[in-house]
Structure 1
Amino acid sequence: MRGIAAAVLIVIVAWITGVLTRTFLSRVVHRVTLKTAWRWDDALFERGTFRWLGRMVPTIVIQFGVPLIPGLPANIQQLIVDVATALMVLFAVMAVSSMLSAIEDLYRQGSGQRSIKGVMQLLNLALFISAALVIIVSFTGRSVGWMLSGIGAMSAVLMLVFKDTILGFVAGLQLSSNDMLRVGDWITMPSAGADGDVIDITLYTVKVRNFDKTIVTIPTWKMISESYQNWRGMSESGGRRIKRALYIDAASVHFLEDDELASLTRLRLLREYLGVQGDAIARWNRELGDDAECEGNRRRMTNLGTFRAYVTTYLQSHPDVHEDMTCMVRQLQADEHGVPLEIYCFANTTVWAKYETIQADIFDHLIALLPEFGLRMYQQPSGHDVREVLVSAAPGRAE
């Protein structure tokens, strides 16, 4: 009876100390953390570090109280002590794990841009493996060296089991040390179907939220074994590239006549170009002497070249085109679709919707202005074009 009474008393004392500890930590410590200006104590409380530490107190009471129970067999006493020790180790590991999570939270809330979640997960894994070894050793009575020798014999199996962990750890180190990937980066990885923002980087996976709001999960090791495009440089530069071509119908390209030149002088952005270029061409032609009578010897302005000069000036004066980045208009090799006139410049924003609006406004203006230069966009015949030809060729149609 004395043994039973002592056992009940120890259990009651352990329970009371546990309740008192939890009450103290949940009320007193919480009030203290709210009053301090430090952030680390708030993070520790939110992650439950103090709660796990409080759960260690009853196990300590049981460990010291069990030997005081009279008449308790030695094997039962040892078993209870081992179980209490295992629980204490588990609670201690959980407290350290929550502390690591709090450190990660503080790092993420601070100025840290690189993800350390993979490193924290690896530390947690090592922590739990060590705790498991300690618990097994306490139950079996074997030495840690004996356990490690057994693990060495199973190294091949362990390498297979922890293959993804090892690959993920190595990949995480490379991604972090070379600053290849951060949470918030926009990446494009066609092989994985990823085109969106990185929302999480862990030891095993990288999560990407695509622009259609789907989530793509990519193994971390794949980020160093396969290529992907990171748009961070574009976001940090403050400008996004516009690279698109207008396909001009080659049949509409011609030399400008005097009346056309006179009409184009109405365009404010062309006046300086027409004046400078006109003087240079007139001077060239005068120096030809009698050879100037042949039109093939004279220099003349073309509607396509003049349009290219207009587009260049238009982009340089556009308020939404980045003035400190490359801006040019170039003519590419003509093909079956006409003469490509490529616009190459940078919008002064990286916001997707604004960028698309700026790009569309530029090309809307240029396409609508082509007839002023006597130019036409190349376009494959549509059903409407065919119908117009058939109607115009119908017998009895007036010309």
Structure 2
Amino acid sequence: MFQEKETENIIESTEKVFETTGLDLKHWLYDHFLSLGLNETSAKYLNMFALLVVLGVLVFIIDFLIRKFLRGIFTQFATKSKTNFDDLLIANKVPRNIAHIIPLLITLEFIPLVFTDFPDFENFAEKTLKVFAIVLTLWVVRSLLNTIKDYLKTLPNFKDKPIASYIQVFMIFAWVIGIFSSFAIITGIEFFKFITALGAGSAVALLVFKDTILGFVASIQVSINDMVRIGDWITFEKYGADGDVIEITLATVKVQNFDKTITTIPTYALISDSFKNWRGMTSSEGRRIKRALYIKQSGVKYLDDAAVEKLKGIQLITSYLDSRQADIKSYNESHNIDKSLSLNGRNLTNLGVFRKYIDSYLKQHSAINKDMMIMARQLAPTTQGIPLEIYAFSSDKRWENYEYIMSDIFDHLIAALPYFDLEIFELPSDSSFKGN
């Protein structure tokens, strides 16, 4: 019984000390400023400012320490755990966002103390902090949802599921509720009453601000999905845009075309229509070259030994022809192939050798990125001939230099065709019939 009474006395005395200290802290600086000869108004403002500075420094230090503490705990746990979920929590800044909660609560607790002589300032500060608390809650929710999204993407069963779309819809509703809650706090109206009052004018607002609302939703989608950034090169055929994005606003996106004209695109068109963003190309290690030569089908033929020997003079394919010729001859002899007819057995064709020449030429070209795909492939025959497509990536991604590199490659290949007894297909012109 004695110990219980002693404990109660200690608690009561401690509470009295804290209460007394709190009162002294409210007016100690104020009394000090009065003793220096300042008037009451100046003393009150200086007292408030000094307490605000002390609170700001205190909250900053607490926030810093909590962030370090939480990040350290999460990092240690992440290194020991086998799952990568905790790593994704750190990557999406979940500990950092959660760490702001305690300093925010401390600030809310001490705001009445700082603005004890200024109730209007106190009311404004409390409303501001409550609105920030809503935003902070949304940040925490968003970072948690992004972590879940990134984690589910690592699971085979969810790789092809539109998880991002579900999260975006949820976050849109969350932001709408957060915005309504903020307005309710600012106006001092209860949340449900605010929603009820808002619903009465929603129909008119939707009609009047239709484009603005569409633009607002679109800008959120564009931002969340990182679809377009200022400086991106986009192509939007529907609006005739082909150039760099120079401005993104709630209602419009401005694109400076390469002829220096300006095209204005509605922001909501970025999510309702299809367009091409070249950012992936500019951020990659090369720019794709994808173009075909159309070869006349009548010129394709088997190569005899004399023709092969003649083509061995082309240095890029000399070793290839030596190796292939030996393999083909060995195969035909081992299978007793009758070579009196070229169709029998295995053979080289001028088109196949030319395709190999293109491949070797691209691989030794100084302007082609050797770490990316290099391929010369034959596509399905068409009425214009046999497409022989070149697929490679130039190291230089600048438009002017890219076009020069591609033109230089095709100049060379077109000029090389006669050495393989091949021709480019082209429709007849007036000069084709002259002299007939």
TM-score, normalising length from structure 1?
0.59
* TM-fit CA distance, 1:322: 1.2
Residue 54 of structure 2 corresponds to none
Task: Judge conservation of contact 1:286–1:292 (CA < 8 Å) in 2.
Answer: no
Equivalent residue number for residue 325 of structure 2? 278
CA distance in 2, matches of 1:290, 1:335: 33
- Could you report, residue by residue, the CA deviation over 1:159-178 in whole angstroms, capped at 9, with x for unpaired residues? 22222222211111111111
Percentage of matched positions with identical amino acids: 49
**CA separation of 1:153 and 1:299: change in aligned 2, threshold 3 A:** closer
Residue 262 (str. 1) matches residue 290 (str. 2):
no
Task: Look up the SS of the partner of 1:289 in the other structure.
Answer: coil
Partner residue in 1 for 2:212: 165
Provide Cα deviations, 1:205-258, integer angstroms capped at 9, x if missing partner: 111111121111111111111111111000000311111111111111112233
| Residue 305 (structure 2) pairs with residue 225 (structure 1) | no
Q: Which amino acid aligns with 1:329?
A: A
- The CA deviation string for residues 102-134 of structure 1, in whole angstroms up to 9 with x for no partner, is xxxxxxxxxxxxxxxxxxxxxxxx9xxx9xx99
Alpha carbons 2:337, 2:344 under 8 Å: kept: no
Q: Is the 8 A contact 2:230 2:245 kept in 1?
A: yes
Give TM-score scaled by structure 2 length. Answer: 0.54
Structure 1 residues 219 and 295 mapped into 2: Cα distance closer, same or farther (>3 Å)? closer
Q: Which ranges of 4 or more aligned residues in structure 1 deviate by more than 6 Å? A: 143-151
In 2, the alpha carbon distance for the partners of 1:289 and 1:147 equals: 93
Structure 2 residue matching 1:364: 3-state secondary structure: helix
User: Which residue is equivalent to 1:154?
Assistant: 201
* Structure 2 CA distance for aligned equivalents of residues 275 and 164 of structure 1: 69
Deviation per residue, 1:278-303 (Å, 9 max, x gap):
11111011112264455432322111
- What is the aligned partner in structure 2 of residue 199 from structure 1? 246
Answer yes or no: is the 8 Å Cα contact 1:252–1:375 preserved in 2. Answer: yes
Query: How far apart are residue 194 of structure 1 and its match?
Result: 1.2
Give distance in 2, aligned partners of 1:257 and 1:282: 12
Verify the 8 A CA contact 2:254 2:264 in the aligned structure 1.
Answer: yes
Classify 1:310/1:158 alpha carbon distance in 2 versus 1 (closer, same or farther; 3 Å). same
Whether the aligned pair in 1 keeps the contact of 2:215 and 2:251 (CA below 8 Å) is: yes
Residue 317 of structure 1, aligned match among 364, 371, 374: 364
Please tell me whether residue 185 in structure 1 is matched to residue 197 in structure 2. no
- Is 1:327 paired with 2:370? no
| Unaligned runs of at least 5 residues, structure 2 | 1-178
1:262 Cα shift?
2.0
Out of 393, 396, 405, the residue aligned to residue 349 of structure 1 is: 396
Distance 2:420 2:381 in 1: 19
- Cα deviation, residue 147, structure 1: 11
For residues 283-332 of structure 1, what are the alpha-carbon distances to aligned partners after superposition, in whole Å with 9 as ceiling and x for unaligned? 01111226445543232211111101100000111111111111111111
List aligned pairs for 1:1-399, cutoff 5 A.
153-289=200-336, 291-388=338-435, 390=436
Q: Is the 8 A contact 1:243 1:344 kept in 2?
A: yes
Specify which structure has the bigger relative contact order, considering alpha-carbon pairs within 8 angstroms and separated by 6 or more residues.
1
**Residue identity opposite 2:222 in structure 1:** L
The one-letter code matched in structure 2 to 1:364 is D
Residue type of the alignment partner of 1:343: I
> Which residue of the partner structure matches residue 6 of structure 2?
none
CA RMSD of aligned residues (A): 2.5
Find the residue that maps to 2:336 and give its secondary structure. helix
Compared CA separation, residues 258 and 292, structure 1 to 2 (3 A): closer
Pick closer, same or farther for the CA change 1:290–1:230 going to 2, 3 Å: closer
AA partner of residue 260 (structure 1): A
Give me the whole-angstrom Cα distance separating, in 1, the residues matched to 2:386 and 2:202: 65
- The one-character-per-residue Cα deviations of 1:40-76 (angstroms, maximum 9, x if unpaired) are xxxxxxxxxxxxxxxxxxxxxxxxxxxxxxxxxxxxx
Q: How many residues align?
A: 252
**Structure 1, unaligned stretches of length 5 or more?**
1-125, 135-142, 391-399
